[in-house]
Amino acid sequence: MKNRLDFTRLADLDRQFCEFAQLQRHAPPRCGWTKTLRLALGMSSKALGSRLGMTGQGVRKLEQAEADGTITLKTLARLAQGLDCEVRYVLLPRTSLVEQVLTRAQQVADAPLPATSHAGALLHEAETLEAISTLLARVNRRGFW
């Protein structure tokens, strides 16, 4: 796969991430999702442990590891399976992907971009697209990041 910029894909990913961010407004439970789900189901740690072939104490240790952020994805998936759940994770950008690329291009090329209130809007204005294309043509892709 070539390392090339695809602004259409970046804008599409930005929309998806925005939708996901709307769902993730609340912080995870202090005790972790595994324990929260187990308790909501009225399941004891011993019962979950028997589903997973381990002790209740082992389940509690894994739940604590999840709450502490030290659990592996493989172990979390195992716990989720015992709860009849799936594990899904996402890397959620702090800023728009389009904005990241444009900001970096601006830094590397040492040239200003047209002002706009939203980076996604840049992709729909013909003269702005031409300015971005010119800017990106001046950037060495190997040293971009």
pTM of the predicted model, to two decimals? 0.65
The sign one gets for the Cα dihedral 109, 107, 121, 10 is positive
**Per-residue pLDDT tens over the stretch 94-144:** 888 888 888 888 888 776 665 554 555 555 566 666 777 777 777 777 777
Query: Which is higher by pLDDT, 56 or 128?
Result: 56
- Per-residue confidence (pLDDT) for residue 1, from 0 to 100: 42
**Per-residue pLDDT tens over the stretch 30-53:** 999 999 999 999 999 999 999 999
Query: Which is higher by pLDDT, 29 or 128?
Result: 29
